[in-house]
A and B are shown apart, each in its own frame.
Chain A
Amino acid sequence: MSEDARKGLWGTAGFAGLMLAAGAGAFISSQRDKRDKRNQTADDAPGFTARRSFGAYDVVGRTVTIARPREELYAYWHDFANLATFMENIVSVKPTGADGRSVWTILAPAGRTVEVETEVVKDEPGKLIAWRSVEGSQIDTEGRVTFEDAPGERGTRVGVRIAYKPPAGELGRAVAKLFMREPNIQARHDLKRFKMLMEAGEIATSANRKDKTRAAKQASQSQDASQDNTRQEETA
């Protein structure tokens, strides 16, 4: 895949350390080539905000400014087990023992769960963590989180970019959206929860009772999901 194609996906800042799977890269690359002939002038906007398609992949992104030091935010994120504290759809992230590999258990529509095994493909302390799904995963995805000093006393700009192949194509994504499992919404919400947790030390809820919070409902849902999975395994 060409350097241009990679820039298209990840934005003009470039993302040299991360290589897409060969097939996807070729697809994105061909899309990009056609359009480049019509429009040679690139702007400074992040790649994911482009009005063009990334082919089979969807690319989502979001940046938040968090009034905490870069190193502290990086450290919290770097321990992948912490991700479940603010990522609503993540039931758990467990290291598999193999170097930089983890298994993510993700809630999917209709109470199901999906497992994705990822490997860390780049890790720059205090600055960047990038991961991608290993070959044969149920979902083809890759992502990165970047930590940059915000101007002056404003803290840290935390940017997340995720590319993924929607499960079962457009239909799968439409269904997912109905259940609020749409990655764009999810990424935005998760990042805001991360900001709440890091700045205020807690995640805002307007519930009046402990059993009425989203976190409580989520916990019971993931419990149901894991029970369902057990049942499925038993019947299989």
Chain B
Amino acid sequence: MRALTWQGTHKVQVDTVDDPEIINPRDAIIKITSTAICGSDLHLYDGVIPGLMPGDILGHEFMGEVVETGPKSTLQKGQRVVVPFTISCGQCFFCSTLQYSCCSNSNPVEKQDISANVYGHAMSGLFGYSHMTGGYSGGQAEYVRVPYSDIGPIVIPDHLEDEKVLFLSDILPTGWMAAENAEIQPDDTVAVWGCGPVGLFAIQSALVMGASQVIAIDHYPHRLELARQLGAKVINFRETSVLDALMDMSGGLGVDAVIDAVGMEAHGFAIDNIMDTAKQKIGFGADRVSALRQAIMAVRKGGRVSIPGVYGGMADKFPIGAIMEKGLQIRTGQTHVQRYTKDLLAKIEDGTLDTTFLISHRLPLEQAADGYKNFKEQQDTWTKVILKPGMSAPDNTRKENA
């Protein structure tokens, strides 16, 4: 089959690789119909997540048709399913308490040592996201092997097209859980850093949950415009003193809850971020945390800090004093996707949530490498890229010659 493989920093390519096959009884094989490039794939593209090996198949947002099932799979051939990016067994302590992204069984034993050493506990398995989270082949491919197919995949009714439901795999539940973690109350002002797909879904979710005001912070005009269309007020951090603006827009109280939908590769000209960037470049293992620092400064006393943005290492100059002295609550984590898929599918079906407004580009899988490059370099307008293995490629000849 054809699949997008990681070869090194800023080097991905579509290769011919072995088709996957059923290995464990609960497995299913899915023929991919739509898959997306996630903002967190850019962390892999940029080489700031450890544990990738050349040839690894990326992609953790995908859906498709069931073409093969193991003896203990509950799926049927021909069903359309969206697959959560978190691989969860459904039976361990964590799964049974709905903390699916903490599953203790999905990361193969020999891969658990990496994260157990770095974080004190082993992470669960994730699709296409380095060997630290299992080394599972991802879904930016024609086919994918899905373990625990009786627990994860959600069956999609025929009348809902791919693009409406694809984001149930990651960014929609991630944005939703980010808003849930902010414990939004009706009179709240909520500030969201980052108007990428997760930030945009967090904004939409916060408004659905009844926040009186949502303020979006970014520097890309088009992305800020998308946030505004959802009903948020916007701040361009290149033009505005963010802390002063937020203080005033929240009536001098400070914002009630903050959501960091930026993560470890924050932009910004502040001195702290320049130092973080330098350290990240020389492999110092430091995450760039300037957005999170600003969020912690902006949130009111006793406020809530929600962190859906991805971090992987250590942070320098982290304002632990502000967290303690202001009495903040922090909630974060990889998304417990399986907890949300059913409810969110219903909200897509009844029109509560709009899931297609952010899609900017649709490409054949063969052009996935272009998709990564543009998603990385033209972030303002390339807001979300969908890859379709079956789509015909208009400039295929150019690709073959390249």
Interface residues of A (CB under 8 A from B): 65, 67, 154-155, 180, 185, 189, 192-193, 195-196, 199-210, 213-214
CB distance from B301 to the nearest CB of A (A): 36
- A196 / chain B contacts, CB cutoff of 8 Å: 89, 105, 109
Please give me the residue from chain B that is nearest to A213 by CB atom: B23
Partner of B125, one of A189, A192, A203, A206: A206
Q: Mark B126-165, 1 if CB is under 8 A from A, else 0.
A: 0000000011110000000101100000000000000000
Partner of A206, one of B19, B105, B135: B135
Which of these binds chain A: B90-98, B229-237, B276-284, B323-331?
B90-98
Most B C-beta atoms less than 10 A away, residue of A154, A201, A208: A208
Give 29 pairs: A residue, B residue, CB < 8 Å, sorted on A.
A65-B93, A67-B93, A180-B110, A192-B109, A195-B92, A196-B89, A196-B105, A199-B89, A200-B26, A200-B90, A200-B91, A200-B105, A200-B148, A203-B109, A204-B89, A204-B105, A204-B106, A204-B108, A204-B125, A205-B24, A206-B125, A206-B134, A206-B135, A207-B23, A208-B18, A208-B19, A208-B20, A210-B23, A214-B108
Q: Mark B21-41, 1 if CB is under 8 A from A, else 0.
A: 101111000000000000000
Report how far A200 CA is from B92 CA in the complex, Å. Answer: 8
Q: Mark B99-116, 1 if CB is under 8 A from A, else 0.
A: 000001111111111000
- A208 / chain B contacts, CB cutoff of 8 Å: 18-21, 23, 137, 145
Additional pairs, 16, CB under 8 Å, beyond known A67-B92, A204-B24, A210-B23: A65-B93, A67-B93, A189-B110, A193-B109, A195-B105, A199-B91, A199-B105, A200-B26, A203-B109, A204-B106, A204-B134, A207-B23, A209-B20, A213-B23, A214-B108, A214-B110
For the complex, is B72 an interface residue (Cβ under 8 Å from A)? yes
Task: Find out whether the CB atom of B107 lies under 8 angstroms from the CB atom of A201.
Answer: no
CB distance from B121 to the nearest CB of A (A): 12
- B19 / chain A contacts, CB cutoff of 8 Å: 208
Task: Find out whether the CB atom of B109 lies under 8 angstroms from the CB atom of A206.
Answer: no
Task: Find out whether the CB atom of B109 lies under 8 angstroms from the CB atom of A200.
Answer: no
A interface, over-half SS: loop
Residue count of chain B within 8 Å CB distance of chain A: 33
Partner of B147, one of A180, A189, A204, A209: A204
Task: Find out whether the CB atom of A67 lies under 8 angstroms from the CB atom of B91.
Answer: yes
- B96 / chain A contacts, CB cutoff of 8 Å: 67
- B107 / chain A contacts, CB cutoff of 8 Å: 204
Partner of B92, one of A199, A209, A214: A199
CB distance from A45 to the nearest CB of B (A): 17
With A154-B93, A200-B105, A201-B25 as known contacts, state yes or no: A206 contacts B137, CB within 8 Å. Answer: yes
CB distance from B351 to the nearest CB of A (A): 37
CB distance from B94 to the nearest CB of A (A): 10
Task: Find out whether the CB atom of A206 lies under 8 angstroms from the CB atom of B111.
Answer: yes
- B24 / chain A contacts, CB cutoff of 8 Å: 202-205
Most A C-beta atoms less than 10 A away, residue of B18, B90, B109, B125: B109
- A65 / chain B contacts, CB cutoff of 8 Å: 93
Most B C-beta atoms less than 10 A away, residue of A195, A204, A210, A213: A204
Report how far A154 CA is from B92 CA in the complex, Å. Answer: 9
Most B C-beta atoms less than 10 A away, residue of A154, A199, A214: A199
Report how far A200 CA is from B72 CA in the complex, Å. Answer: 11
Report how far A204 CA is from B134 CA in the complex, Å. Answer: 9
Which are the 10 A-B pairs with shortest beta-carbon distances? Answer: A200-B89, A202-B24, A208-B20, A199-B91, A206-B136, A206-B135, A189-B109, A196-B105, A204-B108, A192-B109
Report how far A55 CA is from B96 CA in the complex, Å. Answer: 43
CB distance from B29 to the nearest CB of A (A): 10
- B137 / chain A contacts, CB cutoff of 8 Å: 206, 208
Please give me the residue from chain B that is nearest to A154 by CB atom: B93
- B108 / chain A contacts, CB cutoff of 8 Å: 203-206, 214
Report how far A155 CA is from B104 CA in the complex, Å. Answer: 14
Task: Find out whether the CB atom of B104 lies under 8 angstroms from the CB atom of A195.
Answer: yes
- B20 / chain A contacts, CB cutoff of 8 Å: 208-209
Report how far A65 CA is from B19 CA in the complex, Å. Answer: 36
Report how far A214 CA is from B24 CA in the complex, Å. Answer: 13
- A210 / chain B contacts, CB cutoff of 8 Å: 21, 23
With A200-B89, A204-B125 as known contacts, state yes or no: A209 contacts B18, CB within 8 Å. Answer: yes
CB distance from B316 to the nearest CB of A (A): 31
Task: Find out whether the CB atom of B112 lies under 8 angstroms from the CB atom of A192.
Answer: yes
- B106 / chain A contacts, CB cutoff of 8 Å: 204
Please give me the residue from chain B that is nearest to A207 by CB atom: B23
CB distance from A155 to the nearest CB of B (A): 8
Task: Find out whether the CB atom of A202 lies under 8 angstroms from the CB atom of B26.
Answer: yes
Task: Find out whether the CB atom of B72 lies under 8 angstroms from the CB atom of A209.
Answer: no
CB distance from B19 to the nearest CB of A (A): 8
Task: Find out whether the CB atom of B93 lies under 8 angstroms from the CB atom of A201.
Answer: no
Report how far A199 CA is from B89 CA in the complex, Å. Answer: 8
Report how far A206 CA is from B27 CA in the complex, Å. Answer: 11
With A67-B91, A195-B105, A206-B108 as known contacts, state yes or no: A201 contacts B21, CB within 8 Å. Answer: no
- A67 / chain B contacts, CB cutoff of 8 Å: 91-93, 96
CB distance from B74 to the nearest CB of A (A): 13
